[in-house]
Structure 1
Amino acid sequence: MTLSDRTTLVGRLRAAGCVYAEDEAELLLAAADSPATLADLTARRVAGEPLEYLLGWAEFCGLRIAVDAGVFVPRGRTALLVDAAVELTGPAPAVVDLCCGSGATTVALARRLAPRWLAAADIDPAAVACARRNLAGLPAEVYEGDLFAPLPAHWRGRLDLVVANAPYVPTDAVALMPPEARLHEATVALDGGPDGLTVLRRVGVDAAHWLAPGGHLVVEAGTTQTDALCDAFRAAGLVPSVRHDEDRDATAVIAHRPG
């Protein structure tokens, strides 16, 4: 591709609203094995298809995570969950990643911890299939089902760490999300109910029984939701705290099971 062609590609992407048009152009060029493929990828990106679906992967915590069409694309801000979880967790923990999506958080935790047991779960079959691909070769199980329901019963009350990037967008706000998300990602991965906290409240109630004494729950939430979520976690018998990362524009709520 000539310099003028590259400039044209960047211009098309920028006109379509791609904030990082130069970077995206380089990624599309690297992914295309022919001019025809590049034209197809460019047209699909300009039409609003997520870049990660076109590439087949997303970068997360320095790792390349496979992402299939329709599966929730891992966001950079979710790295806060990984950092917080690693800081809280002792040696050889038993760890579960709920609403795991592509399994990005699970893979990152597998790399940074040395779990004695590591599992992921999601209600979406497409996400489960994607997570199993990403976790192939790692000592982790991926279960299909609703939150804790598919997990082996003998881990109840024995988990050291539960992380969950559960849906927390209020139902009415889903329509206001960028088209890349609301038109392409599974609604079940986005819609958190009337106030965005329907699933997270359930996570807290159940985590109080699945965590071992002294264990921790770490979830992602919106900054305006932390007070209500902390109240819900306290009502479930957990001790919550909030951590915010300005650089990532990320908020995590951490809940400790007293022990």
Structure 2
Amino acid sequence: MRSTTQFPWEPVTDRLRAAGCVFAAEEAALLAEVWEIRGPAQTEALIRRRIAGEPLEQVLGWAAFLGLRVRLGSGVFVPRRRTEYLALRAIARSFETPGAQILDLCTGSGAIALAVREHVPDARLIATDSDALALEWARQNLGTDVPLYLGDLYSALPPSLLGTFDVIVANAPYVPTDSIAGMPAEARDFEPTTALDGGSDGLVIHRRILADAARWLRPGGSLLIEISAAQLGTLREAFAAAGLRPHASHDPAREATVLEGTLPGEGSAR
């Protein structure tokens, strides 16, 4: 194994900084790990990809998420740090019911499901996504013990699962269509638009999730969705209209907002 003392720290850091990488030194340290394992030629290829604007996580082949490394690749949505809060809320809800059945809608590369499984080993997880490439990475992260379904939201699921979920968690796209052009280039140019575009007000997919949530939840079960703070009022009303009792929470450290809705019935007071 090569020593990282031979890694060209300053030149790489300078190249990353010149390309606009805000955390150039930290990124260089991660690339030094790659150099130590793969050698100079392969690492140089990764450095060039990063300088061209590709997200660091896609370049490295993994994203950090609640202390885990979630494997992913080019063309796949990168899990955000803010979404760790959504995963933590899902973990907390899962603890309330032994052997809870959890549905991870819009799972992407499987970050939330992976975190829930890590912290709630007895949870029964099921995940869906409409992106076949993302589900390939989810399979690598989750193995064969988590059923994965390819399709549009609930339509991917067998009818036998109706009314069986204690928790439904969804990190669905919530960027308004007109705002995508103003996003950082590494997201706008390298992540699938379908993982970003939430329609005219950012909540089109959320309304579709809400429309059928009560049919898939057990009485007392909860739906958890990540949104922006500015969308909270509108979506809170939509939760209530869908028959779910809404509760919002915010993590200032991660700048994350989660809206939860509980289906009235058995266990809903827990």
TM-score over 0.5 (shorter chain):
yes
Q: Report sequence identity in percent.
A: 48
**TM-score for the superposition, normalised by structure 2:** 0.92
**Is 1:61 aligned with 2:44?**
no
> Structure 1: where are the runs of 5+ without partners?
none
Of residues 228, 232, 238 in structure 2, which corresponds to 1:232?
238
Of residues 98, 101, 119 in structure 2, which corresponds to 1:91?
98
**Is 1:17 aligned with 2:20?**
yes
**Is 1:46 aligned with 2:51?**
yes
Of residues 162, 186, 190 in structure 1, which corresponds to 2:192?
186
Query: Which residue is equivalent to 2:134?
Result: 127
Of residues 208, 215, 221 in structure 2, which corresponds to 1:202?
208
SS in structure 1 at match of 2:21: coil
Deviations 1:108-137 (A, max 9, x none): 111112345311000011111111111115
Query: Which residue is equivalent to 1:222?
Result: 228
SS in structure 2 at match of 1:213: strand
Looking at structure 2, the residues matched to 30 and 91 of structure 1 have their Cα atoms a distance apart, in angstroms, of 40
Deviations 1:7-49 (A, max 9, x none): 1211111121212111100111211322222222112111101
Q: Do the aligned residues in 2 keep the contact of 1:219 with 1:252 (CA within 8 Å)?
A: yes
The residue type paired with residue 244 of structure 2 is L
Query: Which residue is equivalent to 2:257?
Result: 251
**Is 1:75 aligned with 2:84?**
no
Looking at structure 2, the residues matched to 127 and 220 of structure 1 have their Cα atoms a distance apart, in angstroms, of 19
Looking at structure 1, the residues matched to 6 and 138 of structure 2 have their Cα atoms a distance apart, in angstroms, of 39
Alignment coverage as a number of residue pairs: 258
Looking at structure 2, the residues matched to 143 and 3 of structure 1 have their Cα atoms a distance apart, in angstroms, of 46
Q: Do the aligned residues in 2 keep the contact of 1:93 with 1:117 (CA within 8 Å)?
A: yes
Query: Which residue is equivalent to 1:118?
Result: 125
Q: Do the aligned residues in 1 keep the contact of 2:117 with 2:123 (CA within 8 Å)?
A: no
> Structure 2: where are the runs of 5+ without partners?
266-270
**Is 1:34 aligned with 2:42?**
no
SS in structure 2 at match of 1:148: helix
Looking at structure 1, the residues matched to 8 and 122 of structure 2 have their Cα atoms a distance apart, in angstroms, of 49
Looking at structure 1, the residues matched to 110 and 91 of structure 2 have their Cα atoms a distance apart, in angstroms, of 16
Identify which range, 96-105 or 1-10, moves more after superposition: 1-10
Query: Which residue is equivalent to 1:7?
Result: 10
SS in structure 1 at match of 2:260: strand
Looking at structure 2, the residues matched to 65 and 59 of structure 1 have their Cα atoms a distance apart, in angstroms, of 6
Q: Do the aligned residues in 2 keep the contact of 1:193 with 1:199 (CA within 8 Å)?
A: yes
Deviations 1:133-191 (A, max 9, x none): 11115x31110001111112111112100000000000000111111111011111000
Looking at structure 2, the residues matched to 151 and 114 of structure 1 have their Cα atoms a distance apart, in angstroms, of 23
Query: Which residue is equivalent to 2:146?
Result: 140
The residue type paired with residue 14 of structure 1 is R
Q: Do the aligned residues in 2 keep the contact of 1:48 with 1:180 (CA within 8 Å)?
A: yes
**Is 1:105 aligned with 2:108?**
no
Q: What is the root-mean-square deviation in Å for CA atoms of aligned residues?
A: 1.5
What does residue range 150-161 of structure 1 map to in structure 2 within 5 Å? 150-161=156-167
The residue type paired with residue 253 of structure 2 is D
